Structures are given as structure tokens and as C-alpha cells.
Structure 1
């Protein structure tokens, strides 16, 4: 087995590049300002531009480079073992609405790919959840009964893939695709419709007025009738306290070639540790994407082991030839596992948010675009209440809120009392660690050129202490999921200021 690759970049990003756009350099005024250039922001801009609105789309980095570019690119309503849980927590009607909203998103994507002839490696595939343990089989049986109650198209099935299983649950007629090829088509359409697109333009605040103003890091403003926050973590909170109502998880993916052929399809284990499998194509070469190994961000310090565990799984069942790609993904999970899509709070009639897709951003993100478009154009939608950011279900929201914030408090204390064990000059190449620097605690890093850097390890969001992620070479906050580069630049919110760098 060749595991020589140490690539930390999604092969979606390597395989396809989108057009590049200049940063915003002046104050502008439009009907709608959208912050976040992933699948939700791009799709929402496309739908609203078709309705005749003038739009500015802002992205802090490059379009689709974040979560959209680091997905496994499944387009499915089979969101793990979710429907039995939804039946118990939110009831049959809202569970059905969740399923139907995601099916409508899937069908929207199918239709636009077909009608526009988008070359994005789109293929319809069934999806499967399989189980081997007694606990997994019990969960699978409950999920099967939920499918029957909710009239979900699927049921018990045999796996068409050569992997051990005792039972499996199939959802019919789902899909997979190349996310950046799909996004590239929509971006071309945005340009044709006159949408103003700005990359490398972080938005940091909203000035609330009758016509709110989006404020960028460079202090330019976008005056608009509606503000849409479709960035991974909401760039503006508006006292919605989103950082306390969601938590961040890291998961990992490897792209490998195998000696044993793998039957097309999408497969997910019901048992722990989770394993997600799907096939892809790279310039005619069959590729197997293996995902899993989830943990709360900042709470697994030796993340390189997660990539190795995925490769070992692939080698055991399919005999690996070569490991070509590896990357990590960050997912935000709400208290009840349903995304927040709608008005930022009840007091914000013209500021909207879409976040918390868990690991299912392709359908949830497209469902968000469809729902927000309906809200702005004042069309009826049956999905407003189920996704409303202002909703509250006593079970499980209270339990998860208390559990999550107890975990935050624990991590806050642990970070404050943890002491360094190295000096800055003792670091190896590409190593990061807590170090003593000028008689104080710091985050030290030595790059490939031998240059060393020291940063303050106190997260700029709410003062927790970041930890070193050795598999992805970043400083990660275990409290609310902010992530920073080795030299302190923000990679993921909710933090919007870099770590202080010591001279």
C-alpha cells in the first residue's frame, strides 16, 4: 500500500478552478448583499438574480473553496440515522417537511443539471446505511420503521459492495456529482446576469438600519435591502447567540485507488467508528473516497492518526494501491440537528441566515437557497417553521445546550492550566506545539524553511485556548470551533480576528 501522499487539499479543488474575482474596493449599493460564496450563496444569488434583484456576493477567500470544496459531494436526503430521531423530537409533520425539503433540493439540482446540460459528473445512485453490531441493527430497524411512517422511498436491501454487513437500509434515486463543476456553471450564469462578485472580501459586521449596511474588513460598505449570511458560520450574530447553539466537528476524507473494484453507490455505516464510502472519477481513474473519524473541533490533538485509520480501513476491505488525496472538513451541528434557515432573529425582518447543515450541505444548502428565495419574494413555503432559527424544542434542545456549554467550560479551564513542554528552538520542521517564548506560553511553529513563529494561543472569539492540529497544521479552538493558520490567520469562524503574533 502506497501512502506517500501528504496532500491536504481536496481533489475537487485541484481538479477544477473557478474564475477569480477582485476584492471589493469601494462602497456600493444593491438590493441584496450575500456573504458566503459556497453552494448556498451561489445558488441563492442565482435564484434571486433570476427574479430581477441586483446582488453583491462576497466571499472571504475564493468561491467554493471552503466547505463546498471539501465535501464528499453526496446529494442525498439520507442524512445518517435521522428520521427516527426527528419523529421523536419534532413529530411526524416536521420530520416529513425536513425530508421533502431535501428531496425538493435534490430534484432542483437534478433538473438544472439535465435542462442546462451541466457537465459535472452527475449520476443518480442509491444510498445505503449498513450495520453489523446489535446496537447498529436496532437503530437500523427503527430507521426503517421511520421510513415507512414518512413514506420515504427506500427500505431494507442488500449491499452491492463487498463489505461485511448484517443488514442495510437503502434510499432510492439519490445522486452524486462534482461540486465545483456544478458551481462553475452557476457562477458563469451569475456573471451573465450582472451579479457583482467579490473574493478575498471578509465581511465583519452589519450596521442595522432600514437599509442595513454590510461592513467589510477593509471598511467598505454594501448598502442593501436584504442581508444574507450564507457563510459557514454566521458572520453576524445579531444577538442570536449562534456560537452557543451550535458546535463544530472535524471529519476526514482520503481519496485512494484500490486493487479491488468498488461498486458505484454511496455507503455509510450505522456503527462507530463511522465510515462513509463513495466512488468518484479523476480523469478516467476510479477513485474511492473514504470518510469518517469525526470529533469536536480542537478536541483531538493527533489528527494525523485519523487519516491513517481511514487508509487502514480501505486497505483491509479493498486493498489500497495509492493514497492520492486527504483533507479535513468542518461541520456545524445545531442542538436538534436541523439547520437554521430563515430570519436571523425575530427582530431582523431583512437579515437572513443559513447555517448548521451537519454533514449534508449539498441538499440542505440548496434547500436553504430555495427557502430564503421564497421568503424574500414573499412566496409561501411549508418549510419556514421547521428550519426557523428562532425555533426551540425543549427535547432535545435543553439537553444538548447544557451538555455543549458544559463541554465549553471544561475545555476553557483545561486550556488555561495546560503548560508548554518545549522551547521554540526545539521544534521540528512543520511542527507546532505549546512552547515557552520569552518566559510566557505561546503557540510555536517551524515551517519547511526553518523559520519559526510564535502566536498567542488565546482564541480571539471568547478567550479559550487553541490546540495544535498536527494532521492539518492549524490552531483549533476546542470551545466554539474557530480555526487559525500556523501563523495565526483566521481559517474558520466564529472568530474574525487573527491570533496575536509575537515578534
Structure 2
């Protein structure tokens, strides 16, 4: 997976530790038209958990995955199972009130026990291990924020405490500590859950991209290139809903990328999971390695997807930060992840929109998908069964509280509008001879805008960089060697093939 002249200078092997240490799945593609009770689109933590819970409740389920299950966002997580989401509870109380803030807190804390109970019930060998979680202050100014978070979390019934000592070698100024949290190997957990789905009318289909959803009042159809799946309900567990019938999700979320390194230390890593309170995010946790040693995963350096910058610098900056805290024996892995942020910080979980009550979404996990994704599976399973769920209100997709994030909503939409018309991205510059091996840029070829990448062998890959989702212009991601849409997070490989939705169509080729 190493590419380009700058790839060899980047730290680590370009692969997710979770993906490399689990076998690749081989579920078949959809063989043709199919009828079932529920169609789940997306094979990450939300989709697989939803399918497993629905099957256990007696439903026949079909899981549709464009690639291989668990190889998308879930395959690139840091895999913390925690209700401590950096700093959120003081904000939630202020924005939503204590009652709905309590719903969010309870949903995420309950998700930890849901995962733990599934691990116990099915004896899943996934390195599940209880660990405390910390959000720590790196300055006197953020100390007050951390102390306020501890108070807010305690008021909501969470296992929170303010502590002075943080067992990291970095300078800290106290932390909020949550007891009764956990970590695991997410793919070992989910691949085992997935193995429980097929049978009794339930199925998993890989290499089957969903293209369209039709909701005809109790009879939903998911159209793919290989056939259609008809069911009573559809769950869109694709992070960003590729089917946005009401047309407002694109303006209520923004895509964000972040980076991770898998490193080795010359000393034991302290028990716990850690993230700083404010400023650029820095996240730490350990994981048993395949050789019996210990891998430490350090993450952060988040930025909006498709920013017109050299994304390789984010890996280098993360390496420099890690070395400033610990002497590193080696850097074994590097990978990046993508998630979506809603305008008020809470995911959208529930019916897509009025008139589409049989189509459910789960999106905007704000990089806390292990618990929010598990909570989403529980909420949607209850809804499909016609049961009330105690946490559904705070996550309701049809909520809109202007006071919660009015400024961010306005700024985000202005920014999206600029990128939509191509006003905030790199202008075409230079010609084909200027593109060095390993470099990608937008040029004008034969009077048409082209996204051009020259590989290490000198071959030119040229595409129309206009995203097939809603027409924004994609930017070159030098670290991953992909074309990334800055508006809604669609991503394409160097030849224009979709590798991350909401787009479902490839970029068109350009001559060059």
C-alpha cells in the first residue's frame, strides 16, 4: 500500500492493525433479486450489530456491503469503548437540558455493557479488557473545562471523577476519569458477530454497492447493480446516508479525517485510555500485539476531509508529537479514518424523515462510533420491533435546535457553498509535465478540468474531479493517494473508483 515518493518517508506500514490481524471475509455478492424482513446497508459496527440483534429478535435480515465488511470506518477506528467523549456533557446539558443529556450518557454507558454481554454470551476472543478512560488537561486554562466536565458527567449518573494525577509522562493539569470503560479488537469482535448472522433466512452480501432506495409505504426496495432487495424496513448504516431524500443531511454534517500510528515503546504503557481536553486531539491506548508484545495506538491530527493541504504532514506531525511524549522503539503501522460531525455534536439515529418512516439512519458519530454505533443498533432494533426506546429522543434526526449550533451551522454551509461552486479549492495550475511521480493535482487538459495523478512508474491517471454525489470538486489526498470531496466526504482512488460514500458512482476518466 506504499505509494509515491513521499510514502517511504512516512512512519510505519500503511495498514490498519485491525485489518492486518484478521482474515479477509468472503461473503458472496448478491445473486439477484431478494425479499427479506429488513435490509441493512453497511457492514460496520452499526450494521453488523443491528443485523445480529434483529436476527436474535426473529427477523430475516440481509446485510449489503459495497466492499468487505468491517473494512471501512470501523476497520480504522482507535476502538475505545467509552462514554467519555472528550468534553461533551457540560455542552449537552447547556444545549439540550439535563434530561436529554442523561439519555445520551445512559445510551453510551449501556452500549459498553451490551458489548461486554455479547462478548460473554458468545465467548468472543477479541482482547476485551476493562480500562478507565481519561480526558486530561494540558494547561491551566483547560483544567477548568475538565473539572466542569467531571461535575456534569457525575450529575448524569456517569462513573466520573476529577483526578490530579494522570499516568502519562506528558505534563498534565488534572483529568476527568471514567471507571468501568473498556477496549477490544473491533474486527475480531464484529467478524464473530457477523458469523452469527447467516442462516434462518438471514444473509450477508459483500461486493454489492447499494445505488438507490425507494420507500413505498411499508415496502422498501434497495437497488444494487446486482439486483434489488425488497423488505419492510431499511437501515442505512453507511455513516453518511447515500440516500438523502429530504435533502438536508448534506447541510447538517461535515466530514472529518484523523490519523493513527501503531507504535512500540521501551516501557509498559500505563493502564487506561487517554485523550486531551482541547486543542488538536491527541489520543492514546494500548493493544496486545500478535507477537505477545504491546502496541500503543496514538491518534489525532483531525481535519476536514478534502482540505487542500499535503495530508502527509499530518502523519509526520503525529509522529513528532508521539516522540515528544515517549521514546519510540518503532512505528509499525499508520492509518487514517473518517467520520462525520453533526452541527450540534449528537448523532442522527432513527427514521430518515417524515414520509420515510421505514428507512432508518445512524450517522454523525463524532469519532465515538464504538458506543454510539452500538447504541444506534439497539435504538433501531427497538423501533423496528415497535418498542419505545428510552434514548431515542436525543438522537432523533428531525430535531433542530438553532441555539445549539447556529454559528457553526451558518459557517459550515457558507463553506460548503463555496466548495460546491469550486471557489475554495485549488485552481487548475501548470501542465502535465509539471506533475512529478507520486504527485496529484488539478489541471486543465484539453480545456477541461482534470484530476491528475502520476504514479511512481510514471503512468498518468486522469479523472474528472467533480464528485458524482452533489458536484463539489474533489481534492488530492497525498497521504492516502485518493481524491477526497471536501463537501460530503466521498472518496475515490486514483482511477476514480468510489471507495467511500455517499457517492455511488465513479469519477469519469479524462484523457491525458
Tell me the TM-score range normalised by the shorter chain.
over 0.9
- Structure 1 residue 197: Cα displacement: 0.9
What CA deviation, in whole Å up to 9, does each residue of 1:313-344 have, x standing for no partner? 11121111211111111111111111111111
- Structure 1 residue 392: Cα displacement: 1.3
* 1:483 and 2:491 matched: yes
Distance 2:441 2:68 in 1: 29
- Structure 1 residue 58: Cα displacement: 0.2
Distance 1:417 1:260 in 2: 44
* 1:74 and 2:83 matched: no
- Structure 1 residue 5: Cα displacement: 4.7
Distance 1:272 1:459 in 2: 31
What is the aligned counterpart of 1:299 among 282, 295, 307?
307
Distance 1:263 1:362 in 2: 22
> Residues 178 and 3 from structure 1, CA distance in 2 versus in 1: closer, same or farther, beyond 3 angstroms?
farther
- Structure 1 residue 18: Cα displacement: 4.5
Residue of structure 2 equivalent to 1:263: 270
What CA deviation, in whole Å up to 9, does each residue of 1:106-125 have, x standing for no partner? 10111111232110011000
Residue of structure 1 equivalent to 2:3: none
Distance 1:447 1:3 in 2: 16
- Structure 1 residue 494: Cα displacement: 2.2
Distance 2:255 2:385 in 1: 32
Residue of structure 1 equivalent to 2:368: 360
> Residues 277 and 416 from structure 1, CA distance in 2 versus in 1: closer, same or farther, beyond 3 angstroms?
closer
- Structure 1 residue 193: Cα displacement: 4.6
TM-score (structure 2 length as normaliser):
0.94
Residue of structure 2 equivalent to 1:406: 414
> Residues 184 and 416 from structure 1, CA distance in 2 versus in 1: closer, same or farther, beyond 3 angstroms?
closer
Q: What pairs up with 1:6-405 in 2 under 5 angstroms?
A: 7-157=13-163, 158-218=165-225, 220-283=227-290, 284-405=292-413
- Structure 1 residue 63: Cα displacement: 0.3
Distance 1:148 1:333 in 2: 25
Residue of structure 2 equivalent to 1:427: 435
Q: Unaligned regions of 5+ residues in structure 1, if any?
A: none
What CA deviation, in whole Å up to 9, does each residue of 1:18-52 have, x standing for no partner? 43111113101001111011111111111111111
Q: Unaligned regions of 5+ residues in structure 2, if any?
A: 1-7
Query: SS in structure 2 opposite 1:191?
Result: coil
What CA deviation, in whole Å up to 9, does each residue of 1:128-156 have, x standing for no partner? 01112233112112212212321221211
- Structure 1 residue 450: Cα displacement: 2.4
Distance 1:142 1:379 in 2: 35
Distance 1:346 1:427 in 2: 49
* 1:450 and 2:450 matched: no
Residue of structure 1 equivalent to 2:448: 440
What CA deviation, in whole Å up to 9, does each residue of 1:243-272 have, x standing for no partner? 111111011111111223321310000132
Contact 2:484–2:492 (CA<8 Å) still a contact in 1? yes
* 1:459 and 2:467 matched: yes
Higher mean C-alpha displacement, 14-23 vs 433-442: 433-442
Query: SS in structure 1 opposite 2:440?
Result: strand
Higher mean C-alpha displacement, 445-454 vs 262-271: 445-454
Distance 1:94 1:459 in 2: 37
Contact 1:211–1:223 (CA<8 Å) still a contact in 2? no
Distance 2:139 2:126 in 1: 37
- Structure 1 residue 412: Cα displacement: 3.6
Higher mean C-alpha displacement, 79-88 vs 137-146: 137-146
Contact 1:4–1:323 (CA<8 Å) still a contact in 2? no
Contact 2:308–2:426 (CA<8 Å) still a contact in 1? no
Query: SS in structure 2 opposite 1:295?
Result: strand
> Residues 451 and 53 from structure 1, CA distance in 2 versus in 1: closer, same or farther, beyond 3 angstroms?
same
Contact 1:260–1:319 (CA<8 Å) still a contact in 2? no
Contact 1:437–1:454 (CA<8 Å) still a contact in 2? no
Distance 2:38 2:10 in 1: 47
Contact 1:106–1:363 (CA<8 Å) still a contact in 2? yes
Distance 1:136 1:9 in 2: 34
Contact 2:147–2:175 (CA<8 Å) still a contact in 1? no
Contact 1:203–1:214 (CA<8 Å) still a contact in 2? no
Query: SS in structure 2 opposite 1:190?
Result: coil
- Structure 1 residue 186: Cα displacement: 0.6
Contact 1:240–1:344 (CA<8 Å) still a contact in 2? no
